[in-house]
Chain A
Amino acid sequence: MFDALTELYTEGDLDKLRAFILHSSSWRQHDFTSYGNAQIEKQWLQSIALLGFKPLAEKQVVQGKGHSAIYFELANNDSENNRIGFFFEHNGEHIKRVNAIVDTTSLSANLPDADPLLISQFDHQLHPQSAHAEPSDLITLPEQYRDVVDQWWHIWQANQMASFGTLYDQQAVVKIAGLPESSGIEQIRNFRIKLSNQLNRSYCQLQHIIFDEQNNSFASTWCIDGDFIDNGEIKRIRIPLMSFVSLSDDGVITSERIQVDWLALQKRFALNASIV
């Protein structure tokens, strides 16, 4: 299944991937959801035109129960690799729902119109009357990693910047969509600070998380809602994100990859200014 996903891009192997797709499967990419074979295959062909036939440069698989995730990079000779993240629901035989996030920053892409989205205003404060999801609320985490994963989420949900210093290896590999690969926490900490300052009344919501005990890694999909001041105009936006995190045996984060489709975000909310 993982090979079928990568080989769509490296070889254009539609048959292999088609065998996993149902009449009722859906595939979300660039904030647009395709349903059924005909629409999904059209999206594949557009993706191949945009990204395809490049060798695989890197791959990370996160196996969960019912959901799995894969992050991979396609090699580019003259620029940054193309980064793609998939989070998908499957039963081992078929793929039901795919959420794909492509780092489109370096691409000049004619993206599809996003699905209509109506964001309702809500109380974003972490006040005690509300219930806010943490990783350990959603899945059973291995005991030795539970606190680390919950504290990782605390960085995003509660702006707990000090955890960058305690959770991460000082040489951790960090790859954030739209930014070059870096080593250490500086880039990811700056990214967090910038997001906090760019978005007023922001709120982070965990959507799915899976933990792979074989590989000491986890993957999650989540989103940030916030008010973004776009050339003087306040726009309520929602940023979908995907995180791939690897841990050492003693529970230190050794790598983190964050996928965001910045071009799709700009198109959906007609943004003029850049967020990062």
Chain B
Amino acid sequence: MQKTQSAITQTYWQPLEKLLNPSTTKQQKLAGFDEEFVDLVDYIIRITHRIWEQKNVGLCYRYYSDICPVYTLGGYSECVEQVVQNTLKTISAFPDRSLIGENVIWRENDDDVYYSSHLITSIMTNTGQSEFGPATNKTGRVTTIADCVCFENKIIKEWLVRDNSFLVKQLGLDPIDVAIGLAKLTPHPTFTKWLNEEFTRVLEVEHREEAVLDQNNWSPESFVDAWVQTIFNQKQFSKLANFYSLAAAQQWPGGRQATGVAQISGTLIQWLAQCPDAKMTVDHLAVVPFDDETTDIAVRWSIAGHYNPASSRLAQLKGQEFFVLGASHLRVRDNKIIQETTVFDELALFANLIRQSGAEIATTAEGLTNV
């Protein structure tokens, strides 16, 4: 049974000291979790702080199961050893990385399994070699959403999305250049299989079916279904005002910032034109009240279709299979979105397109595209 949010840790107005030293009694059953945790949000916030900000990387052994599939658009890892190694490499490249927990939207199943969607803002300085290349010694900000399945004190499955194109722009790097480098990496066989299967699954969605948004029988679930079907699958942009408040704030990857219906329509139209046959599925949904008037919704979603390059540098990739794993946090008031944070990894998207095509694309340092 889902507890009301008022009883569960609310991160938004909490000082860090209070988040790290909760004063309430246990609010959720949390079977098999350490007794110290009062609820799932507390668990997520404190283990994140301990692993990343206190650099106790080895705590991954305590808080991740031995077999823990982690899906990202840039790769796949399967076990806790890889989680430890990847964490260490990132901390080495960005040693002052802070993880500011902006929100945790959660769901509790009847079988003692919990689901969390953790929105994080990180500030970090790139002082070491990273997946993006040599150290830039610049500080950047990045938004991440980590969706985790948690059971008996451990994360047993994770989907991780990070706005890497926004980050590398702050590091002074060209996103396509970085993607060209990433495309040279050999992916895990499970990643390739997962990507192909997901692409096929999402393309099969029934996208012409009309979704009716009944304001008299409104629910977060029907709202998200209608949002996806109307805007993303059917591209009916004149209906944006049915879903967004007139001054809704929208953050999309790569520095796309929009306020209000006109700007939001621009973001969505320009982005979707890169994949004009895009089909979208909702893969997971979690809903919690934020306060008396607003509701927070976490949506994990996938988009599949075929690539229509916006950049002439990527013209060779036209028609390639296009797949995005994404996540959105929506804050809803009076049945409309007032704030949207959508995250996916645009660098990984470009890297996958380049790798699959086999095209040789020159970096900006190398000059124009080799054909």
Contact = CB atoms under 8 A, between A and B. Distances in A.
B260 interface: yes
A207 B98 contact: no
Contacts of A116: 166, 169-170, 254-255
Contacts of B121: 24, 26, 35
Interface in B257-278: 257-263, 265-267, 269-271
A138 B247 contact: yes
Given A120-B256, A122-B269, A130-B261, A24 B102 contact: yes
B15 interface: yes
Interface in A100-138: 113, 115-124, 129-134, 137-138
A220 to B, nearest CB: 10
Contact of A115 (B123, B238, B255, B263): B255
A130 B269 CA distance: 14
B169 A120 contact: no
Interface stretch (A88-96, A188-196, A241-249, A250-258): A88-96
Interface residues of A, number: 39
B261 to A, nearest CB: 5
Interface residues of B, number: 39
A33 B257 contact: no
Nearest to A117: B255
A39 B123 contact: yes
Given A24-B121, A35-B123, A94-B13, A131 B241 contact: yes
A22 B11 CA distance: 10
B100 A35 contact: yes
B141 interface: yes
A117 B257 contact: yes
Given A35-B100, A132-B261, A225-B263, A120 B13 contact: no
Nearest to B121: A35
Nearest to B268: A120
A228 interface: no
A164 B15 CA distance: 46
Nearest to A94: B13
Nearest to B169: A116
A208 B123 contact: no
Interface in B199-226: none
Contacts of A26: 121
Nearest to B260: A205
Contacts of B141: 33, 35, 115
A26 B143 CA distance: 13
Contact of B246 (A24, A121, A138): A138
Interface of A: 22-24, 26, 33, 35-36, 38-39, 91, 93-94, 96, 113, 115-124, 129-134, 137-138, 203, 205-208, 223, 225
Interface of B: 11-16, 19, 98, 100-102, 121, 123, 141, 166, 169-170, 238, 240-241, 246-247, 249, 254-263, 265-267, 269-271
18 contacts: A23-B19, A24-B102, A39-B123, A91-B13, A96-B13, A116-B254, A117-B255, A120-B270, A121-B266, A122-B266, A123-B266, A130-B262, A131-B241, A131-B246, A132-B260, A207-B249, A207-B259, A225-B263
